[in-house]
Chains A and B, each alone.
Chain A
Amino acid sequence: MWRPTERTGDMVGYGDGSGGIDVAGGAGSVGSAGTGSGVVSAGSLDGTGRGLPPGRSGQLNAGAGRKKTRRYATNGARYIVLAGLAVIVGFPIYITVVNSLLSSRQIAARPPVLFPLHPLWGDFSAAFSQAHLGLYLRNSFIVTILIMIAEIITSVLAGYAFAYLKFPFRRLLFMACIATMMVPMEATIVPNRQTIVALGWFNSFPALIVPFLASGVGIFLFRQAFMGVPKDLHDAAKLDGYGHWHFLTRIVVPLNRPLIAAFALYAFMSAWNQYLWPLIVTDTNSVRTVQIGMAELENVSVNHFNLIFAGTLEAALPIFILLIVFQRQLVRGLSAGALKG
């Protein structure tokens, strides 16, 4: 609900007033409808946009002043809390960056160094070469991107089928999909590994990718979202000459782009951060992924914490980049939705 252009000093006609998150105008008021920032004119204090008769505006000015002061105070308190939370979240990341630029001895120093005056950039390339990070990163990219694309495609298609198509055992199959979400990976890991070995896929990319081509979470997520697309749009598309495929690709997917982006991010992160499964279905560097590489980095550079920190940052970098790229889509996802009449 970010519509700065609609702000006109008072809050007449602002948004839909339904109590979303208001980030416009600097006050950052959260929640309650009809609080907004900027100058509240007496003519619109009732919040309905109808205004009040001119004779009553005088007596309201004093009230408006008091309200303003109170609002500044509440907003100030909010900022302090939010800033505190930001420090708690941001500090470990900051300290990782700092440590990756220090020498091992500086890291061990007490009190800790909080700002690298002479940053050592060489750690990044050292981590890369000493622990084969380049190779692991490449492998991780191959595995993660393929899993992400496959999960999006299969989840969108299955979600659509469950939402729009009628076929025998639809409910049962959907239940089965949901049930996969309830079983922890640890419970299936041994039989899955045996299957992989039996298929002759040990130490290969298919072993890392194939078990994750579909996702119960994704199917559930998209089915629910697609069911929220107004039925009239489907009917209109049918009359406009479009079948299921075009309805999916031209209407349903574009309408749910923010959700798909969010799911892509989720799929990417879970695939990228996998550790246990790649560890047990591979034993050679040629197909191993970056998280295993990280563990190895720890072994080869026990006394070089700086290398571990640098390597950690390198392994986390793709996720950061992805977050930045998808950020707009994700934020838009909060306010997007199909149009009602």
Chain B
Amino acid sequence: MASASAAVALEAVSKWYDNVPAIQDATLEVMPGEFMVLLGPSGCGKTTLLRLIAGLENPSQGVIRIGGRVVNDVDPKDRDVAMVFQSYALYPHMTVRRNIEFPLRSRHVPEQERNRLVEEVAGSLQLEKLLGRKPAQLSGGQRQRVALARAIVRRPLAFLMDEPLSNLDAQLRIEMRAELVELHAKLGITIIYVTHDQVEATTMGNRIAVIEGGRIQQVGTPQDIYQRPVNAFVAGFVGNPPMNIIEAKVELSGDVVNASFQGASFQLPADLATLLRKKEVSSVLVGVRPQDVSIVKEDTVGMGQLRAKVSLVESVGSVYRIICRLDGGGFVTVDAYRDKREIRTGDMVELSITGDMHLFDAASGERLEP
């Protein structure tokens, strides 16, 4: 059941509602057959972007292409894209069969062919036995599958999915995630998938576009985005638990550049030091992932750089998640292994940065990189 898949491209697309910008200058190229995830917090504009691609909204500016064709003035039905909605949007008065074949009817597919297609799709999504039921008689997961079947059956150029898993319970969500990835591999179709769940984004997407405030902040593979976030927002948004971000002053002393924070200071790596010296940045945001911070009790002889008090210790499966309040205010999350189990709430500890350090300009939030 291979389908022709198409590239989807946005060129400087903007959308305003009554002078309020919802999308600003969005440029994005989705390759044919790619699984692209639009990731962002609620209200960031990711759903609007999807609706613009579907044709349910018209852009105020910019060009949208599907399969190379400019579709700005093309009706949704003629764009040849299918959408899966968060609410599934199944027609409640129709049986599963009628729901699935509904898009085929509008295209006047002959009955025999229609039945064949419906049964083929139903078979691949394990819906054969449910074809006679109404949506109200289905479970959440089954409804989700019917919505997928309705989208697949007409073999669109691209799939648009708007938080399709967010109404499912946790276990089912994990299963459906795997099923969707499998389906994508099988059909080889372009998928544009909107979610606010970074786990979904990082596990499913070939690439992720992180969106905030109506702007695309970064587009890249999940590894790219995790390892080299382009700004402090992306750094704080992607990763669970989020990256620790501390504002620090830059102090130049001879050859050494230190970042100082409320009395504590730590030396920055040489390449970063050169960059800071060159750019004359006076204040930076230091980002460190929780697993890149080491923690020791204050009374153990250590080389800790930051003094802190433990506010909370959570056992999260394989690690202990320790949340510390810094002497100078602010919290730092540390993911520690089991050997740190002697650390308890209320203990004074020393923290040091052992792994990668990300630096962002305190004024613009942009990543500073040699």
Binding site for B on A (CB under 8 A): 230, 232-233, 235-236, 238-243, 246, 251, 254-255, 338-341
Stretch at the interface among B89-97, B115-123, B175-183, B304-312: B89-97
Segment of B66-74, B101-109, B205-213, B349-357 in the binding face: B101-109
B143 sits at the interface (CB 8 A): yes
Given contacts A239-B83, A240-B106, contact A339 B135 (CB under 8 A): yes
Interface residue B56 (Cβ < 8 Å from any Cβ of A)? yes
**A-chain residues with CB within 8 Å of residue B86 when the two chains form the complex:** 232, 341
A-B pairs under 8 A by CB, number: 65
Residue of A232, A246, A339 touching B136 (CB-CB under 8 A): A339
Contacts of A242 in B (CB 8 A): 77, 106
Contact B89 A241 (CB under 8 A): no
User: Which chain B residue lies CB-closest to A255?
Assistant: B93
B340 to chain A, nearest CB (A): 38
30 contacts between A and B (CB under 8 A): A230-B87, A232-B89, A233-B89, A233-B91, A235-B56, A236-B83, A236-B85, A236-B89, A236-B91, A238-B55, A238-B75, A239-B54, A239-B55, A239-B56, A239-B81, A239-B83, A239-B103, A240-B77, A241-B77, A241-B106, A242-B106, A243-B77, A246-B106, A251-B91, A254-B93, A339-B90, A339-B135, A341-B87, A341-B143, A341-B167
Q: Which residues of B contact A243 (CB under 8 A)?
A: 77
Interface residues in B, total, Cβ within 8 A: 29
User: Looking at B86, B102, B135, which has the most chain A CB atoms within 10 Å of its CB?
Assistant: B102
Q: List, in ascending order, chain B residues with CB within 8 A of A239's CB.
A: 54-56, 76-77, 81-83, 103
> Considering the complex, which residues of chain B in the window 22-62 have a beta carbon less than 8 Å from any beta carbon of chain A?
51, 54-56
Closest to B82 in A: A239
* B325 close to A (CB within 8 Å): no
Return the contact of A340 from the options B81, B87, B93 (Cβ within 8 A): B87
CA–CA, A340 and B82, complex, Å: 20
Sort A-B residue pairs by CB-CB distance and give the 3 closest, nearest first. A241-B106, A339-B92, A232-B89
Pick from A236, A241, A341: contact of B107, CB under 8 Å: A241
Select from chain A the residue with minimum beta-carbon distance to B86: A341
16 new A-B contacts, CB < 8 A, other than A232-B89, A235-B54, A239-B81, are: A233-B91, A235-B56, A235-B83, A236-B83, A236-B89, A238-B56, A239-B54, A239-B56, A240-B103, A240-B150, A242-B106, A243-B77, A251-B93, A338-B92, A339-B136, A340-B87
| Contacting pair B89 A255 (CB below 8 A) | no
What chain A residues lie within 8 Å of B140 (beta carbons)? 341
Minimal beta-carbon separation of B84 from chain A (angstroms):
9
- Residues from chain A with a CB closer than 8 A to the CB of B56 are 235, 238-239
Q: Cβ of A233: which chain B residues have Cβ within 8 Å of it?
A: 89, 91
**Cβ–Cβ contact B102 & A255, under 8 A:** no
